[in-house]
Structures are given as structure tokens and as C-alpha cells.
């Protein structure tokens, strides 16, 4: 097999453009899919009148809530299927179904001049930016890892981090559907000898989770407030599984520094959202990617640990 060609920066860069188009779908739909799943889970629980009674609800209240919840379950289950594959891509303003050439990564947006062909509504520049960034990062992976099948593993690593970052920035949610598979994939890849030594991956996962978990509880016990979410713990654990235990401190330091700078900038410009917080996940992911592309030896040299 001609690895030199199929795993070259040019080929993986083109693959990245297509994957980036899919990541836009993931970033848009996954939070809505999770909302529907959580809503149904809650409705199933409320539809159980006996369970409500065991929790102290009066019989008439339990019956009323169960009836309303059951009606809601039927309503949601009757809706058209909504997942990462269905329905097809469409304009959110007018419902125009995108034709194949309008869906081409980068080229479709440029050809449409950033507007819907049916109603003229502006299409966010974020779509081509994510596509272009994914293509660029996939090409850099090929350059970093070399022309070998393991490059696809690291492309997957990059793709999940991009999707998780986009979702966290929009919703302050880091889905388990992304962070946990990334964590397990890192441990499995290390076990099979495809990435880093298993001991480093294992302790990277353990240290990544427990370090932020400890900070979370120290902050909460001291202030009574929550400084971050559990998704951040899982994301850093996944980064540790892929990059190793000795890369955790550089990742956290870089993420904290960049996050502080961005947060201050947003505060000064009035861009801080309600609650005056900035999601930490995108900065963890960005720091993880920076450490990966810089290389372990270089990062440890910068810290004077080499």
C-alpha cells in the first residue's frame, strides 16, 4: 500500500474538509439530540404514577403529572426522526434543503457567497472556518505523525476535540458521548502500542480526572460555588490518555493562561455571557492540540524538564 500518498498532508487535508463539514452537523445537532433524550428520560419518570407516590406526591397530583408526562412522551415520539444523519441539511430560516453542490465543504459556502440560495439569509462563517480548520489540522497531523495508518487515529483525536469545543462554547456542555469514547479510545490505542506507553496513558487519564476534580471540590468547599463542570474532568482525562501524564501540567497551564486572557478580553468588551463565565473545554482542547503538535520533547524542554 502506498502510505506515502494516502496518508500525505494533501490527502488527509482533503479528508479533513469533509470531516469538518460533518463536525458542523455534530456541533449543531448533538446538543438538541441530548435535550430530547433528557426530556424523554424525565417524562418517562414522571409518567410512572406509582414512582411519584413513593416520592411523596399526593395521588391526585401523581395521576395528573403522569397523564401530562405520558402525553408529552407520545408527542415527542411522534416527531420526525432527528439524529446526525436525518433530516438532511437545510436552511434554518426557510427550510430549503441544501443541494449536493451547496453542501460541498468550503466551496459550497463560497459559491453561495455566504447566503441561502432560496431566502438570502446569511450563513454563518463558522461553517467554512471549522471545515478549513479541520482540513488544516488533519494535514498537520500527517506532517507530524508521518505517512502511516496511525495518522488516522490522531485525526480522530483532533476531530473529537473540535466538535467538543464547538459544543462547549455554544452550550457550556461537554457531552459524555464525545469525551468518554475519546478517553477509552486513547487507552485502547495505548494498549495496542499505537500511541504512547500504556502506563503513561493510564496515569494520564487518572491524573487528568482527579486533578480537576480536586480543584472543583476545593473551590466549591471554599466558596460554595461550582467553578467548572464534570465534562472538563473527563476531557482532561481523555487528553491524558492520549498525550501522557507528563503533559497534564503543560496543558492545564496553557489552557488557564489562554482562558484568562480571553475571559478578560470578553469582560472588557462586554461579550461575557449571562453568569459571567467562559467555558473551559475549548481551552483545554486547544492546549492539548498545541502540546501534541509541539511534541513532548519540545514541551518538556520549554519547562526545563528534559
Please tell me the predicted confidence (pLDDT) of residue 4.
Answer: 85
**pLDDT at position 95:** 83
Low-confidence residues of the chain, pLDDT below 50? none
pLDDT of residue 254: 92
pLDDT in tens, 39-92: 999 999 888 888 888 988 899 998 999 999 899 889 888 888 999 999 888 888
pLDDT digits (tens, 9 = 90+) for 111-137: 888 899 889 899 999 999 999 999 999
pLDDT recorded at residue 283: 96
State residue 5's pLDDT score. Answer: 86
pLDDT at site 21: 95
- Give the DSSP letter string of the chain: --HHHHTSHHHHHHHHHHHHHHHHHHHHHHHHHHHHHHHHHHHHHHT-HHHHHHTT--HHHHHHHHHHHHHHHHHHHTSPP-SSSSS--B-TTT-PBPPGGGSSTTHHHHHTTTB-TTT-PBPPTHHHHHHHHHHHHHHHHHHHH-SSTHHHHHHHHHHHHHHHHHHHHHHS---HHHHHHHHHHHHHHHHTTSSS-HHHHHHHHHHHHHHHHHHHHHHHHHHSS--S-HHHHHHHHHHHHHH-GGGHHHHHHHHHHHHHHHHHHHHHHT-PPTTS---SHHHHHHHHHHHHHH-HHHHHHHHT--
At residue 269, the pLDDT reads 78
Amino acid at each position: 500500500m502506498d502510505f506515502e500518498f494516502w496518508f500525505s498532508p494533501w490527502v488527509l487535508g482533503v479528508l479533513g474538509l469533509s470531516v469538518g463539514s460533518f463536525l458542523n452537523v455534530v456541533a449543531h445537532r448533538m446538543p438538541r439530540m441530548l435535550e430530547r433524550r433528557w426530556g424523554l428520560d424525565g417524562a418517562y419518570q414522571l409518567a410512572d404514577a406509582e414512582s411519584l407516590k413513593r416520592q411523596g406526591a399526593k395521588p391526585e397530583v401523581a395521576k395528573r403529572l403522569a397523564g401530562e408526562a405520558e402525553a408529552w412522551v407520545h408527542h415527542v415520539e411522534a416527531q420526525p426522526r432527528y439524529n446526525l444523519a436525518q433530516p438532511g441539511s437545510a436552511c434554518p430560516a426557510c427550510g430549503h434543503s441544501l443541494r449536493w453542490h451547496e453542501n460541498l465543504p468550503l466551496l459550497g459556502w463560497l459559491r453561495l457567497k455566504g447566503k441561502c440560495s432560496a431566502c438570502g439569509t446569511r450563513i454563518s462563517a463558522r461553517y467554512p472556518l471549522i471545515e478549513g480548520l479541520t482540513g488544516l489540522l488533519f494535514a498537520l497531523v500527517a506532517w507530524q505523525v508521518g505517512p502511516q495508518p496511525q495518522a488516522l487515529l490522531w485525526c480522530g483525536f483532533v476531530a473529537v476535540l473540535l466538535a467538543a469545543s464547538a459544543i462547549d462554547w455554544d452550550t457550556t456542555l461537554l457531552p459524555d458521548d464525545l469525551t468518554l469514547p475519546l478517553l477509552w479510545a486513547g487507552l485502547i490505542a495505548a494498549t495496542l502500542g499505537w500511541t504512547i506507553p500504556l502506563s503513561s496513558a493510564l496515569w494520564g487519564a487518572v491524573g487528568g480526572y482527579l486533578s480537576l476534580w480536586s480543584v472543583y471540590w476545593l473551590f466549591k468547599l471554599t466558596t460554595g460555588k461550582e467553578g467548572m463542570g464534570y465534562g472538563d474532568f473527563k476531557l482532561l482525562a481523555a487528553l491524558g490518555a492520549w498525550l501522557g501524564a507528563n503533559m497534564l501540567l503543560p496543558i492545564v497551564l496553557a489552557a488557564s493562561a489562554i482562558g484568562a486572557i480571553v475571559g478578560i478580553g470578553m469582560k472588557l468588551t462586554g461579550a461575557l455571557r449571562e453568569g459571567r463565565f467562559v467555558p473551559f473545554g475549548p481551552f483545554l482542547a486547544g492546549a492539548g492540540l498545541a502540546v501534541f503538535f509541539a511534541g513532548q520533547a519540545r514541551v518538556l524542554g520549554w519547562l526545563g524538564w528534559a
